[in-house]
Structure formats: structure tokens, C-alpha cells
Copies of this chain bind each other. A is one copy, B any other.
Amino acid sequence: MRVAIVGATGAVGKELIKVLEARDFPVDELRLFASPRSAGKTVNFQGRPHTVEVTPEGPIPTDVVLASAGGSVSKKLAPLWSSEGAVVIDNSSAWRYDPEVPLVIPEINPDAARAHKGIIANPNCTTAILAVALWPLHKAFRATNVVVSTYQATSGAGAEGMQELLDETRNYLEGRPVGHKVFQHPIAFNVIPHIDAFQDNGYTREEMKVVWETRKIFDEPEMKISCTAVRIPTLRAHSEAATVLFERPVTPEAARAVLEEAPGVEVVDEPAENRYPMPLSATGKWDVEVGRIRQNLAFDNALDFFVSGDQLLKGAALNAVQIAELLL
């Protein structure tokens, strides 16, 4: 299969190249695109150098375009890239809410991908990491109300976000002014309950993405979900604390048994051995770690659990490549 990566030099683009290699995706030809600033750079794939080209404003002669170039670029160009038959798997939020565009997590709604009209949307990282754990529980016990609080890494703002955390932390430790540029406030040794733009209802767009996208992926347009999205000073891998009320009787043991069998999930839930999901252990993993599974104490027939997943993998590059695998 011929593959193109748009945004090949960004944090997600680099992971896309690694994931294609690691999963032995059958790449017959790989083309790499980025902004003019990065064009001309050389990137290795399967041991051979590939030159980065300027992202075209027209059709891309390939089979699959893995795009991670930001919302405004994708909004404008994805229909052009796909206009001569390529399928665009888009990592931005530009197409996710278009009823004509499938929004896909392969473990959950693979059939939706096959109904594409040239563009398939890859979900928001926070949504994807929660959804792989929530879906098997929803199927087994029917989730009625979901409350989630997130612990999101700076990688969610790309390579610049991660660099900003490192730079600010060095400044802090060396007694210099910490400064900030990518985030609204300094993030080193701080917490910012603000990711993406505020909406009229007081929620951020990041929080609403979890609501909108989970409903679309699950095909549950009325599902009751609420989210607080918080940026914390970690580099990579998001964590989330979830409370879920269920319609059918549930126990932590029954939930654990369901999750043990679920694809894309690793149950890490041995408190006595200090084993639970953490960014440190989830970074670099394809599976999302799920643990701290317990009966919620504020509601009847409700569970709490904690997830950690690699924002750049299941939250982005891995899920995109898994969608491409559905098209093989």
C-alpha cells in the first residue's frame, strides 16, 4: 500500500513513522510532507532516507494519507488530498463532527471506517484513551452516566508543548523567570484547568470533545458524559479518573474480568504491589493501562477506575495506523 504522512516532522508524525515500522505495515511507497519550514529534511524509514516535501494543495497520488497537520490545514486541504482516490485519516478535529465522516477507534467501531467517503477522522487523544476502557464495560453493563477528570501531558500540545515544559522546568530550577508561550500560564510545577477554547456553556472544547466524540464513536447520541480537562506537568501519556454509573449490576471483579479480555487494554490493578496505571509505565505502550477499579462510594452500581495511555500512540499515531490497517 502507498502511504503519505502529512505533518511528518511533528510529534505525532514521528510516531506515525515508528508505528508503521513497528507494526510491519505493508508500505510499498512512503511520502513525507510538512510545512515549507521542514521541507528538504531527511527522515529514515526502514533504514532508508526519505526527503520531506512541501504539503501539496491538491491531490496526493497515494492510497492512504495519515494527516497530522492541524485543524485549519486539514479543513481546507483534506478534500483535495483525497480527490483522486486517496483515503485521508485525519488526526485533527476538523472533520470529527461531520456526519459524513466516520470517527473511528478500531476496537470499537471498525465497520464505520469502511463507510468512508474519502476522509476518516481519528479521535481526540483523551477520548480515545478513555473510550477503549469504557467501551467493553458499556457493552457488558451499559454505562448511563460518565464523569471524567483528566491529567493531560504537555505532548497534547505537540513537540513544542513538551519542549516548553522542559525549558520552563530548567528555568525554575536555575532561578530564572519561568516564562510561557505555548500554554496560557507556566506549566512547570503548575496545573492548568484549561485546554483548548472555552465554550458558552463554561466547558472547554477539549472537555466537549470527550462528550461529542464518545457519543459518536459509541453511536450513543444521548449518552450522559461530563469532563474536566486539566493540563499537568508531565511530558507524555494522559491519565484520567473516571466514575461510571451502570444500568446492569456490576462489580469491580466483573469489570476486571471484562477488561482482561478487551483489546487495546492492559489491566494494571495490583495495589498491594504498588501497580496501577501511570504515565511512566504507559509511555510507549500500545495498550491503555486500566486500574484502581473499585466500587464508587457516592452512587449505587457505579465504578471508579483510572487509565493511563500514551497520548501520541493510542491517542494519535497508533489509532491512525490501526484505521489504515482496516483498509488493507
Contacts and interface: CB of A to CB of B under 8 A. Distances in A.
Contact of A166 (B147, B173, B201): B173
A13 interface: no
Interface residues of A, number: 58
A297 interface: yes
The DSSP consensus for interface residues of chain A is mixed
A278 B185 CA distance: 9
Tell me how many chains of this kind the complex includes: 2
16 contacts: A146-B298, A147-B243, A166-B173, A185-B280, A186-B280, A192-B278, A193-B241, A194-B271, A201-B295, A202-B252, A202-B292, A202-B293, A202-B294, A224-B298, A224-B299, A232-B233
A193 B233 contact: no
Contact of A233 (B147, B189, B198, B299): B189
A292 to B, nearest CB: 5
Given A234-B191, A292-B202, A294-B201, A149 B146 contact: no
Given A203-B294, A241-B149, A189 B225 contact: no
A274 interface: yes
Given A191-B279, A232-B232, 8 more contacts: A145-B299, A151-B151, A185-B278, A189-B234, A201-B294, A226-B243, A230-B241, A232-B234
